[in-house]
Structure 1
Amino acid sequence: MTPPTESPASTRTSEAPPGLRARKKQRRFEEISETAIALFLEKGFEKVSVAEVAAAAEVSKPTLFRYFASKEDLVLHRFADHEDEAARTVASRPTGLTALDALHRHFLAGLDRHDPVTGLNDAEGVLAFHRLLYGTPSLVARLHGYQNRSEQALATALRDAHGGTPLEARLAAAQIIAVHRVLAEHNWHRIASGDPVPHVHRAAITATNEAYACLRAGLGRYA
């Protein structure tokens, strides 16, 4: 997401080191988003207007839209850092490790640290966020765009790693991203239904290993 342009409000701001300006923008970005998410969790996504978010965050609507292109992005920016995570995992894998092995290890490591992106996290804030996300059709629809960009980035990384045609790489990337999504949603549903994390963790490891066995069987080039 492109950061907003800085307003020439003061000489001090214009003379501040670039690193400080970037940090100030990032803080404001996060403050607006967290304010919005708190309102959405309290009242429901559809019942909170952008104007209400702007007022609560003490910014104008035009300023808010310089940071976030849409109301949905106020929530989904949390996924932005994960868009190219699979691609980065493949690109930075150790020499001699296949793309699928690197992705498999990375997902298992996420389970071990209870990374929310794997669905294996029972913190109330994480569960509430997932309820907001999966319970709001417009957010689910918008999330598909993030997943599409993840597939595109991963397809490029797979081709760089193991070759193949663009279509072959894109089909492989789509299957891998879909596996991660289904595993994460399954873990979240179990956690949300009250299953204890240690029990779900063990089952999640087994399911992940089985899923990657299927991927290796069907995606031989990348295994």
Structure 2
Amino acid sequence: MSEIGLRERKRQRMYQAVSDIAVRLFLEKGFDAVSVAEVAAAAEISKPTLFRYFPAKEDLVLHRIADHEDEAARVVTGAGEGVSPLGALRRNFLDGLDRRDPVTGLNDHPEVLAYHRLLYGTPSLATRMYAHQERSEAALAEALGGDLAARLAAAQIVVVQRVLALENWRRIADGERLEDVRQDAVAAAERAFGLLEKGLPWLAEESGLGEDERI
């Protein structure tokens, strides 16, 4: 492996290790009760070094979902021949439910539930999540063509996936059994994507239409 590859792997390990330490401290004491300096000390790095990796305190938590930021865009651009954008996104979300992917909200592991309580229960983290969603939306819009119709469609798709995930997490966090939620989660996802296909027919077809025909 090249020196650049080794350096990148080391950097990614550092990101993960520092984020894991920070999340553990935040879960133990509360996000606002833990300082960046305390996280740096626990990770045995300097505060300036920590800020080189994580420009904001909230980024220490959001690192866990950073790789999902352009997921929808990657799904669309990687869709196979004959697969529509919405068809690919539908399958990806349903596959995530099958895998109990935490990003779908359908996961009852105590650490995942605690992480989501931290994420959605801390105002500054919830606010930072909007920036994450905006970047996800922008990446998806670009993958869909980058015009006004694409931006409008991306906004709807990202919101639908967020609402589905929040509903799954909320029900499990309220004490419902995962298997009871799973069946409803699949049905809700099928219905939601069905509605998207009705409202965005040009994304349900293999070949898209021109902008004038879409809006």
The TM-score with structure 2 as length reference comes to 0.92
- Aligned AA for 1:80? A
Partners of 1:127 and 1:72 in 2: how far apart? 18
Which residue of structure 1 lines up, in the alignment, with residue 14 of structure 2? 28
- 1:149 has 2:130 as partner: no
- 1:178 has 2:159 as partner: yes
- 1:138 has 2:124 as partner: yes
Which residue of structure 2 lines up, in the alignment, with residue 105 of structure 1? 91
- 1:127 has 2:113 as partner: yes
**1:204 paired residue among 177, 185, 193:** 185
Whether the 8 Å CA contact 1:104–1:212 is kept in 2: the answer is: yes
Partners of 2:193 and 2:133 in 1: how far apart? 19
- Aligned AA for 1:69? P
Whether the 8 Å CA contact 1:120–1:197 is kept in 2: the answer is: yes
Whether the 8 Å CA contact 1:154–1:173 is kept in 2: the answer is: yes
In the TM superposition, 1:1-223 aligns within 5 A as 17-159=3-145, 166-223=147-204
Offset, 1:214: 0.9
Offset, 1:21: 1.7
- Aligned AA for 2:18? I
Q: RMSD in angstroms over aligned alpha carbons?
A: 1.0
| Unpaired stretches in structure 2, ≥5 consecutive residues | 205-215
Whether the 8 Å CA contact 1:122–1:197 is kept in 2: the answer is: yes
For residues 90-130 of structure 1, give each alpha carbon's deviation from its aligned partner in whole angstroms, at most 9, with x where no partner exists. Answer: 10111011100110011000000100000000001100000
Offset, 1:49: 0.5
The TM-score with structure 1 as length reference comes to 0.89
| Unpaired stretches in structure 1, ≥5 consecutive residues | 1-15, 160-164
Equivalent pairs, count: 203
Partners of 2:189 and 2:37 in 1: how far apart? 43
Offset, 1:166: 1.1
Partners of 1:64 and 1:203 in 2: how far apart? 42
Offset, 1:24: 1.6
